Amino acid sequence: MRVEDKIKAVDGDGIYPSSCGKMFIAGIDEAGRGPVIGPMVVALVLVDENGEFLLKRIGVKDSKTLSKMQRLRLSKSIQVICRQVIVEVVQPSEIDSAVYGRAAKNLNDLEARIAARLIDKITFTPCNVYVDSPDVNTIRYRNTIMKYLSRDDIEIIVENDADKTYPVVSAASIIAKVKRDSIIEELKKVYGDFGSGYPSDPKTRAFLRNIIKGRRIPPIVRRSWKTFRNIVKQKPSGYNVVI
């Protein structure tokens, strides 16, 4: 059965009519926190109780466990099911600023600020928001989000690996990953094939070495990443790299 047919079948059952209940559920997750090249994308998706059931029915799960085609197919259905889908793209320059402690205390602090911004845009209440925490100390991360929130009418639940536990967070991870993948494909049209963008990728490391030889670093590179800094240190003598 196609994903679209699954949605129609559940709607047709009348078990969870669209007006059922007053509680809304949202999930927040990111894609692209670790790469040395490209942006990070943070997504929030919001559903009602009917939508939560539908997300389970179509088989959403942690985006890292899905193929590219599965993510693309599911993302289209998620857009139909959800009441709200909000995405924020975080550019490498903003990430670098956070890592260096300029615009934010660190990367976790930046991500918490973005989560708060997304939550502030929620238009359906009452709502419980489930957040996948990048911090092992989930209480600390929740407190940081709360510090940046401008509202107090939403319950925030923060957990590690929430994308493996809550379908609504899995859906957010899929939306974020699909969006980032589309951005990466466009960047490759401009800058060439830099591989996955992750530090462990030989093609990515070769790309970094080549642009350093060109002495000017494009804005897609995270200059604060240790991988990049180490490659800069290995540059030939006499090379002045503009970073």
Q: Look at residue 216 and tell me whether its pLDDT is greater than 50.
A: yes
Please check whether residues 180 and 78 belong to one and the same domain.
yes
Token pair for 197: 């963008």
Q: Note whether 137 and 225 are same-domain residues.
A: no
Do 204 and 140 lie in a common domain? Answer: no
How far is the C-alpha of 26 from the C-alpha of 156, rounded, in Å? 10
Give the pLDDT confidence score for residue 238 in this predicted structure.
53
Q: Are residues 158 and 217 in the same domain?
A: no
For residues 197 and 208, what is the distance between their CA atoms, to the nearest angstrom? 10
Residue 127 lies in a domain: yes
pLDDT tens, residue by residue, 2-15: 555 544 444 433 33
Report angle CA 172, 174, 175 to the nearest 5 degrees: 65
Report percent pLDDT > 90 for the chain.
80
| pLDDT above 80 (res 243) | no
pLDDT the model gives residue 240: 55
DSSP string covering 37-64: BS-EEEEEEEEEHHHHHHHHHHT---GG
Contacts 24+ apart (CB under 8 A), 136-140: 136/160
Question: Which tokens in the block code for residue 196?
Answer: 């996955």
Closest by alpha carbon to 186, among 34, 85, 38, 75?
38
The answer, yes or no, to whether residue 237 has pLDDT greater than 80, is: no
**Amino acid letter, 240:** N
Pair 223, 178 in one domain? no
* 243 within some domain: no
Residues 66, 152 within the same domain: yes
What is the residue type of 120? D
pLDDT number for residue 239: 54
Total structural domains in the chain?
A: 2
Question: Do the Cβ atoms of 84 and 125 come closer than 8 Å?
Answer: no
The 10 Å Cβ neighbour count of residue 113 is 19
What domain range includes position 206?
A: 192-233
Same domain as 42, residue 7: yes
**pLDDT score of 108 more than 60:** yes
Whether 91 and 49 share a structural domain: yes
Same domain, 101 and 10: yes
User: For residue range 156-211, what is the model confidence (pLDDT) as tens digits?
Assistant: 999 999 999 999 999 999 999 999 999 999 999 999 999 999 999 999 999 999 99
Interior CA angle at 18 toward 17 and 21, to 5°? 85
Residues 6+ apart with CB under 8 A from 31: 40, 41, 43, 63, 173, 176, 177, 179, 180
- Cβ neighbours of residue 176 closer than 8 Å, sequence gap 6 or more: 29, 30, 31, 32, 41, 42, 43, 63, 87
Chain mean pLDDT for the chain: 89
Question: Position 79: which residue type?
Answer: Q
Sheet with 40-48, side-by-side order of all strands: 84-90, 40-48, 24-31, 127-132, 154-159
CATH of the domain at 171: 3.30.420.10
Count the neighbouring beta carbons within 10 Å of the beta carbon of residue 158: 24
Tell me, yes or no, whether 146 and 214 share the same domain. Answer: no
- Looking up residue 224, the CATH number of its domain turns out to be 1.10.10.460
DSSP state of 162: G
What's the whole-number mean pLDDT along residues 91-101?
97
Tell the residue number behind the tokens 């009418």, with chain if given: 153
pLDDT at 87 over 90: yes
